[in-house]
Structure 1
Amino acid sequence: MELDPKYDHYDYPTTAPVAKPGHPGHLTEAQQAQVHQLRMLLETEGYTKRLDTLTLLRFLRARKFDVNLAKKMFVDTENWRKTLLYAGQPLKIDGRTISLDEEIGQWDRDGSFKQKVSKYYPQYYHKTDKDGRPVYIEQLGKIDLTAMKNEGIEYEHMLVNLAVEYEKMADPRLPACSRKAGQLLETSCTIMDFNGVGFGNARQVFGYIQEASGMSQNYYPERLGRMYLINTNWLFTGVWRMIRPLLDPVTVEKIHVLGGNYQKELLSQIPAENLPKEFGGSCQCEGGCHLSNAGPWNDPQYAKPAWWEQNDGAIENRPTEIGHGEGAAAAGATATEGAGATAPAPAAA
């Protein structure tokens, strides 16, 4: 895999641990050329941020290395970042329109939002699984949107918080995990706990899941590693039967529906000392695992400032700098022939 010195300033491993087609360190010549081609097209249209190789590869894999489709997905994501949307309209909080790049470093700096929302909807990152990936946990049965609204927490606040957490998973959490593991980690291990979900709160639970899934699928491709759905009941089973055929087979392979007998399988993927006791592990963080934010991203040995803590991540574009190496030459040779060439690669969530 060719790295571009203009954009690729990684200080952590850049080769995927499993040699899957289209993944970092395991590219064909055609796929390498498509990375350069996508970057050149985006540079031509004036984009200056997030043009590093790992990011472009995630968008290309999500669209089976169709450069035109990957470009559209990238552009749609950048437009969404400028103005977050809710129900098709610009999302506003206290009268101000939310721009994600501006919000990341400012959101909940004192931790008060997390303290309040955790009482009605615990959602948190907590340590790592056996592959070194961050573990993300949501307790969906505890969602109480009415109680949150009474405390001044609107649906819009929840969506901004969700987007910021996606950003912080990408940086600093995943880079810190990659440094500790000594290999590139790009995905998370997720636990969705349905304990307490029933007829009374099913609508608000599944409504929020739909919003969250849409955000993940549309704007954060290739971030799902494994997902465990635990304490699912017959109500969820019926919904799952309907939506499963609509999902990409690669995505379905990552999702494990476990019901109430889940402890053994969770512990096969997550060390007991990293799994909260309420889910069958042995971890009991002081003050509660849901508020600890424990993980390599808080260990000085592996943690480093995220991009949004340093600068805006923009790179000045200069025509003479566009493209490097043999892949760039191949991309330049094919750019005038159309951007839709494809190479074998899996589609994934």
Structure 2
Amino acid sequence: MSLILLILSLSQIFSISEALSFQEFTTVNVAQKAGLEKLSSKLKNKLPHEYMKRDIYLLRFLRDSDFDVDAAETRILGFMEWRQKNNIDLVLKEEFPEYDAEYRVIYEGCDKGGNPVISLPIGDWDLRRIVIAGKSKKFVRYVQKILEEGTGFLRWGQEEGFNMTQATILFDLKGVNLVTHVCGGCIPMYLELLSFSQTYYGGFAHKIHVLYAPEFSLSIWDLYKNLLTSSVAKLLEIHGTQKHVFAKELSREIDPSQLTQRYGGVKLEGVDLSSMRSAAPPAFLANPFSLKLKEKNITDFCGIDWPRIENIIAESFHK
């Protein structure tokens, strides 16, 4: 039961919402368009960053509020207040080298819908050690940075002309155990992560696959999944420990060329978020300068050679 709590908590941290293609996400009817224009007019002088004033940014809040303009406005202003209170605009300048090395976030490739695929090897994360060391607050801050970078990464893709609004998440539970991942002191930290992520980072995940889930947890999962809302049940899939089985299931949504061998793909390794970050200043992910990839004959985001991109980023920055 504790493992199921961990799975649900991690899933909510990355804010499950309705999975839509880019075209579906950006398509609105006449009434919805009018609501978007009304929201934009009400907030144009209240938002601190230009990217926040764009339709595609406001549209996420409208969709999460079922196109209730007043509710969307309340959520956005609440988000702005929370950001200011917690100095979220500064988090991208903060460094967590000890967490980057051990609590890795890895870019794999893309799914067949063009969404970036991000893997998190949770089984390698010693969360109990964080709690014992009294560093829960610092880890929460680290997760805030990851979420800011993740949403910034999607914005960067949009600015480069790629159809990206969400990401597919792979939670890798290989090595997870109740001692280091579901300790008593871990629960308050999970609850804090749940609180701000559900409220302020809605719609980040297009689909979530939990991989290497211990076999005993699957039967428990069958009992509990019926308690989930239909949207969560639709977007969350739990897979067992047999790689050849879940690799076949993943291949329906993600081509093996876009996955590392750990998940049944053909790639030797993915790209650590920390490596992508080190190739450029924080603005690359937060408020990215244009690399004009299409001018460099890079038109397929999912086929990007990231080591090459790292060199382009570095060259652009130094120029």
In structure 2, give the amino acid aligned to 1:160: R
Question: 1:165 aligns to what SS in structure 2?
Answer: helix
Q: Which of 143, 151, 172 lines up with 1:162 in the alignment?
A: 143
Which whole-Å CA distance do the structure 1 matches of 2:105 and 2:279 have between them?
A: 21
Structure 1 equivalent of residue 154 of structure 2: 174
Structure 2 equivalent of residue 217 of structure 1: 198
Structure 2 equivalent of residue 102 of structure 1: 90
Structure 2 equivalent of residue 123 of structure 1: 105
Stretch deviating more after TM superposition (262-271 or 55-64): 262-271
Structure 2 equivalent of residue 34 of structure 1: 35
Q: Which has more radius of gyration?
A: 1
In structure 2, give the amino acid aligned to 1:266: L
- Give me the TM-score of the superposition, normalised by structure 1: 0.63
Which whole-Å CA distance do the structure 2 matches of 1:293 and 1:162 have between them?
A: 13
Structure 1 pair 275/78, CA: closer, same or farther in 2 (3 Å)? same
Q: Deviations over 1:48-69 (max 9, x none)?
A: 4312211111001001111122
- Give me the TM-score of the superposition, normalised by structure 2: 0.68
Which whole-Å CA distance do the structure 1 matches of 2:173 and 2:189 have between them?
A: 13
In structure 2, give the amino acid aligned to 1:113: E
Following TM superposition, by how much is the alpha carbon of 1:174 offset from its aligned partner in structure 2, in angstroms? Answer: 1.8
Following TM superposition, by how much is the alpha carbon of 1:122 offset from its aligned partner in structure 2, in angstroms? Answer: 3.3
Question: 1:64 aligns to what SS in structure 2?
Answer: coil
Which residues of 2 match residues 197-208 of structure 1 at below 5 A?
197-204=176-183
In structure 2, give the amino acid aligned to 1:223: F
Residue 263, structure 1, aligned to residue 247, structure 2: yes
Identity of aligned residues (%): 18
Q: Which of 150, 169, 194 lines up with 1:190 in the alignment?
A: 169
Structure with more of its chain in helix, by fraction: 2
Provide structure 2 residue ranges, at least 5 long, that are not aligned to the other structure.
1-19, 290-319
Structure 1 equivalent of residue 116 of structure 2: 134
Question: 2:113 aligns to what SS in structure 1?
Answer: coil
Q: Deviations over 1:204-241 (max 9, x none)?
A: 47665554444332111222111101122334653674
Q: Is the 8 A contact 2:91 2:144 kept in 1?
A: no
Residue 226, structure 1, aligned to residue 226, structure 2: no
In structure 1, give the amino acid aligned to 2:89: D
Which residues of 2 match residues 1-349 of structure 1 at below 5 A?
17=21, 19-20=23-24, 23-24=25-26, 26-43=27-44, 46-49=46-49, 50-84=52-86, 99-104=87-92, 106-108=93-95, 112-116=97-101, 118=102, 121-148=103-130, 154-171=135-152, 173-178=153-158, 183-204=162-183, 210-233=191-214, 234-235=216-217, 238=220, 241-242=223-224, 245-247=227-229, 249-260=230-241, 261-285=245-269, 289=270, 291=272, 305-306=284-285, 308=287
Structure 1 pair 224/59, CA: closer, same or farther in 2 (3 Å)? same
Structure 1 pair 224/281, CA: closer, same or farther in 2 (3 Å)? same
Which whole-Å CA distance do the structure 2 matches of 1:294 and 1:240 have between them?
A: 38
Question: 2:165 aligns to what SS in structure 1?
Answer: coil
Q: Is the 8 A contact 1:230 1:259 kept in 2?
A: yes
Q: Deviations over 1:264-306 (max 9, x none)?
A: 1223322323312222222223xxx4637688x9999xxx945
**What's the RMSD between the two structures over aligned residues?**
3.4
Structure 1 pair 48/143, CA: closer, same or farther in 2 (3 Å)? closer
Question: 1:131 aligns to what SS in structure 2?
Answer: coil
Provide structure 1 residue ranges, at least 5 long, that are not aligned to the other structure.
1-15, 85-98, 311-349
Q: Is the 8 A contact 2:128 2:180 kept in 1?
A: no
Which whole-Å CA distance do the structure 1 matches of 2:44 and 2:273 have between them?
A: 41
Which whole-Å CA distance do the structure 1 matches of 2:272 and 2:44 have between them?
A: 41
Following TM superposition, by how much is the alpha carbon of 1:137 offset from its aligned partner in structure 2, in angstroms? Answer: 1.3
User: With CA pairs under 8 Å and 6+ residues apart, which has the higher RCO, 1 or 2?
Assistant: 1
